[in-house]
Structure 1
Amino acid sequence: MQAKVNVIVAAALLGIAGAASAQDVQVVKLGHVGPVSGAQAHYGKDNENGARLAVEELNSQNLVIGGKKIKFELLAEDDGADPKQGTAAAQKLCDAKVAGVVGHLNSGTTIPASKIYNDCGIPQITPSATNPKYSQQGYKTAFRVLANDNALGAGLALHAANNLKLKNVAIIDDRTAYGQGVAEVFKKTAQARGINIVDEQYTTDKATDFMAILTAIKSKKPDGVFYGGMDPQAGPMLRQMDQLGMSNVKFFGGDGICTPKLAELSAGAKALGNVVCAEGGASLEKMPNGKAWRAKYDAKFPGQFQIYSPYVYDATMVLVDAMKRANSVDPKVYGPKLFETNYKGVTANVAFEADGELKNPAMTLYTYKDGKKVALN
C-alpha cells in the first residue's frame, strides 16, 4: 500500500513540475508591418518572410531571458502601403503589447506609425523606409538598418554627373514621403554637380499611365530621367518610354525600383537596360553572410526574394540581441540597449548612431543586363 502511495505522490510531483515548466515558457510577441496586399504586396511578403525566418530560428535556440524560456510569436499586419492603415496597424500592435516592431516598409507609413510606437514605448526598427525625417523626430524608439535617402539620392546624382557625365535630367516623383524625399536629394546633389534639371513632373503611387508626363519630358531632350517611387509605376514607365522613342535615356531610381520584379513589370522594355538604381546596403554577394542566407531563404520561400528580407531578418535579430543583453523582454528595459548594439548580421555589422541611424551604411548601385539585376560597384 505504501509503495502505491509513493507512486501516486511521485506522479503528482511530476505533474506539478511539468506545470511549472510549462508556466516558465514566456510568449513574447514581435510585430511586423508591411503591404501584403495591393500593388506593393511582393515587397511586403518578402519582408514578412524575413521576419518569419528569424522568428523560426530564434525559437529553435531555446533562449532563456530573465530566467524564463522564451517562445517568440510573430504578429504580422498589412498596411497596404497606406498611411492611415499603417497607423491603425501600429495601434493594434501597441494594444497587443508586442515587445518590438520590425517595419514598416514605406516611409509614408513608417513615419506616422513611429509616433504611435514612441507614445506606447515600443522599439521600432525599419528595414526599408529611407526618408531621413524618420530619424529626425527625436524618438528614442526609432531605428533604421540601412542607408537613408541622403545616401541613395546623392549617390545616384554623383554617378550621373561624375561617371555618366550627364548634363540634362528630368525628375518625376510619386508625391509619397519616400518618392518625394529621394527625388529632392537627387535634385539638390545633381544641381550642385552642374546637372541642369530640365523638367519636374509628378504622379501618384497608384498611376499606370505616364504618356502625358513623359511626352512633356521628351520635348526637353533630357539625357536622363530620375523617378522617385516604386516598381509598380517604374515598370510601365519604362514600357511607355520605349513607345515614345526614349529607350536610350538613362533612368535612375532609389531602392523602391531596384527589384528583380522590375524586369517583369517592364515586360521586355529596351529602356530597362538603361536603368541605374541604388540600394542602401551591400549587394547580397558582398554581404557578410549573404550567400548562405539567400540559399536558406530560397529553400523556404522559393521565388519570393525582392530586396529587404535580409534587413528584416537582421532587424528582428537585433531586437532580440538587445533583449538578451538586457536580460529582459520588457521594452522599457531592453530598449535603451539598442543604442549599444554591435551585432554581426547578414547585411552588415549593425550599430546605431545616437539618432537611430545605422553607422557606416553601405550603398550599392545596380543596373539590368539581359533582364537580370547586377551590381555596378
Structure 2
Amino acid sequence: MRKKFAVVAAVMSLSTAAACGSDGGTSSVNDHVIEIGAVLSLTGPFAAQGEAHLGSIKLGIDQVTKAGGITVNGQKYTFAVTTKDSASDPAKATAGVLGMIRDEGVKYLIGPADTPSVVAAESVVTKQDVLWLAGSTYISGRLEAKAGDPAFAKIFGTNPSAATVFPAAVNGALQYQPGTKTAAIVWPSGAASDPYVELIEKAFAAKGVDVVDKLRFDIASTDFSGILTKLKSYKPDIVFTGTTSGAVQAFASQAVQLGSPFGSMIVLGATAGTGLTGNNGKPLPFPYMYIMNRGLDPYTGNPDVTQLFQQYEQVNGKPPALDAQLYATEFTSSINALARAMEKAGTVDDPDAVAKALKTVSVNAGNGDVSFAQNGVLQAPIAVCELRDGDGTCKLVTPGQ
C-alpha cells in the first residue's frame, strides 16, 4: 500500500522549463511513501549543479531507506522523489513555490538554492504553513538575523551563513598562501550579491590584505577579457571569484591565455574540475582553491567521505561533475535529519512538530555529526581545498583562525 504525502524540493535555474520524473531509493510494497517533488535546474547554465542537487536528494533517500525507513506510530514510511526541470527566474521561482504549496498541498519544501530565487521565495514561504529547507547561504544569514521570529520558525538553511562561509574561506586561502598582500574580488553583479562582496572585502581587511579592486560581471557572462586585462595591470596575489561553475571555468581558462594575471584564485560555486582541467584540459598553472560548505570533498583523505561519493555514484549511476561536488551532498544530511525528526515528532504531516524536532536531532554526514541550531542554521564543518599542479589537499577551517 502506498500512501503519498507531498514534499517538494524547489531548486530553480535560468534554464527553460521542461518536465521529467524519476524515483530515488527502494521501498517495501507495504510501506507508505512520502513523495518528494524536486523542481531542479536540469538544463541550462546551472545544469551541473541541479543534477548534483538531485543526486544528493536521491542519495539521502537511499540512505534513509537502507537504514530501515521512517517509523511513526508503528507505521513504516519511505521517501520517493519526482523531478521537474524549471527556470530559476525569481518570479518563476515564487510562482512555482506558491503553486506547490497551494495546489499540491505541500507541507515540506526543499530549495531553491540560488540566492535570487531564495530571496524571492522567502516572502512567500514565511506566510505559509510549510517546513522549508533552503540551499543558499543567504537564508542562513536571514535566520541568524530573524532568530525568534515565528515566521522563520520552520525555515532551515542547509548551508552555513555567508557571514560564516566567507571569512572561513579567506582564512583557509591565506593558510595556503601566507604571503598574500593584495587581493581582487570578481563577483556577479546585482543587489543580492552586494553583501557577499562586502563580507569578502572585510575578511581580507581583517587579515591585513589590501583589496585593490572589486570587479562585477553578469552571471551569464562568458567573456572576462576586460576584467582580466584590468587585473593584469596590478596582478593581485589572489582573486576571489564565483559563483557558477561555467563562469569560473571561463574565467580561469581565459586567465591562463592572458598569462595568469594573478598569483592564485579561490572560488565559490565550482570545485575540483576547473583546477584539474582549466588549462586546456590540464591542471591550472597557478594555485586554485575552492570552498566546500559542509567540508565534504574527496581530497580530505577521509575514507568515510570517499565512501559517501562512491555511494553517490552507485545511487545515481555516475559521479557528480568535478565542478559540482559542492552540491552532491547539499540535501543528503538534511533528508536524513528530516526522517529522524519525523520519528521523534511522531508525525509525518505536522510541519510545526517536525520543525521543533529537527532542531534537536543530529546525523552523521560522513565527516562527523551535523545538526541544525535553534535558529535553523546548519552546523557543519567548512573546508577550503587547494589544487596545485594537479595535486589536491583540504583543510577544515573556521572564522577567526
TM-score range, shorter chain: 0.7 to 0.9
Specify the alignment match of 1:292 in structure 2. 307
Specify the alignment match of 1:110 in structure 2. 118
1:173/1:202 contact within 8 Å kept: yes
1:78/1:89 contact within 8 Å kept: no
Higher share in strand: 2
1:64/1:70 contact within 8 Å kept: yes
Matched, 1:120 2:128: yes
Q: 1:85 is aligned with what amino acid?
A: K
Q: 2:287 is aligned with what amino acid?
A: N
**In 1: Cα distance, 2:69 partner to 2:374 partner:** 32
Specify the alignment match of 1:275 in structure 2. 288
Specify the alignment match of 2:167 in structure 1. 154
> How far 1:51 sits from its partner (Å)?
1.0
Change (3 A) 1:106 1:144: same
Q: 1:354 is aligned with what amino acid?
A: Q
In structure 2, stretches of 5+ residues that fail to align are: 4-27, 397-401
Q: 2:330 is aligned with what amino acid?
A: Y
- Aligned ranges for residues 195-234 of structure 1 at < 5 Å? 195-234=209-248
> How far 1:369 sits from its partner (Å)?
3.7
SS of the aligned residue for 1:73 comes to: strand
Matched, 1:375 2:375: no
Specify the alignment match of 2:266 in structure 1. 252
1:140/1:355 contact within 8 Å kept: yes
289-298 vs 309-318, greater mean Cα deviation = 289-298
1:232/1:265 contact within 8 Å kept: no
Give deviations 1:179-229, integer Å, cap 9, x for gaps: 544332111111222211111111021000011121122213322221142
- Aligned ranges for residues 35-46 of structure 1 at < 5 Å? 35-46=41-52
Change (3 A) 1:111 1:366: same
Q: Percent identical across equivalent pairs?
A: 20
> How far 1:159 sits from its partner (Å)?
4.2
1:28/1:99 contact within 8 Å kept: no
SS of the aligned residue for 1:273 comes to: coil
Q: 2:46 is aligned with what amino acid?
A: Q
**In 2: Cα distance, 1:51 partner to 1:207 partner:** 29
**In 2: Cα distance, 1:325 partner to 1:31 partner:** 23
1:151/1:363 contact within 8 Å kept: no
Change (3 A) 1:344 1:243: closer
Q: 2:165 is aligned with what amino acid?
A: L
SS of the aligned residue for 2:384 comes to: strand
Residue 76 of structure 1, aligned match among 54, 77, 83: 83
Q: 2:71 is aligned with what amino acid?
A: V
Specify the alignment match of 1:313 in structure 2. 332
- Aligned ranges for residues 23-34 of structure 1 at < 5 Å? 26-34=32-40
Residue 142 of structure 1, aligned match among 155, 160, 176: 155
> How far 1:337 sits from its partner (Å)?
1.3
1:365/1:375 contact within 8 Å kept: yes
> How far 1:41 sits from its partner (Å)?
0.8
Rg larger for? 1
> How far 1:271 sits from its partner (Å)?
4.3
Change (3 A) 1:81 1:164: farther
Change (3 A) 1:303 1:55: closer
> How far 1:348 sits from its partner (Å)?
3.9
In structure 1, stretches of 5+ residues that fail to align are: 1-17
**In 2: Cα distance, 1:122 partner to 1:193 partner:** 41
163-172 vs 152-161, greater mean Cα deviation = 152-161
**In 2: Cα distance, 1:155 partner to 1:350 partner:** 18
Give deviations 1:320-356, integer Å, cap 9, x for gaps: 1111111101223322211212223335412222221
SS of the aligned residue for 2:123 comes to: helix
**In 1: Cα distance, 2:137 partner to 2:35 partner:** 26
SS of the aligned residue for 1:101 comes to: strand
Residue 378 of structure 2, aligned match among 348, 353, 358: 358
Report how many aligned residue pairs link the two structures: 356
**In 2: Cα distance, 1:203 partner to 1:19 partner:** 49
Q: 1:46 is aligned with what amino acid?
A: A
Specify the alignment match of 1:341 in structure 2. 361
TM-score after normalising by structure 1 = 0.82
2:36/2:79 contact within 8 Å kept: yes
> How far 1:261 sits from its partner (Å)?
5.5
Change (3 A) 1:228 1:19: closer
Change (3 A) 1:156 1:284: closer
Specify the alignment match of 1:183 in structure 2. 197
Specify the alignment match of 2:64 in structure 1. 58
Q: 1:298 is aligned with what amino acid?
A: E
**In 2: Cα distance, 1:74 partner to 1:372 partner:** 37
Q: 2:123 is aligned with what amino acid?
A: K
Higher share in helix: 1
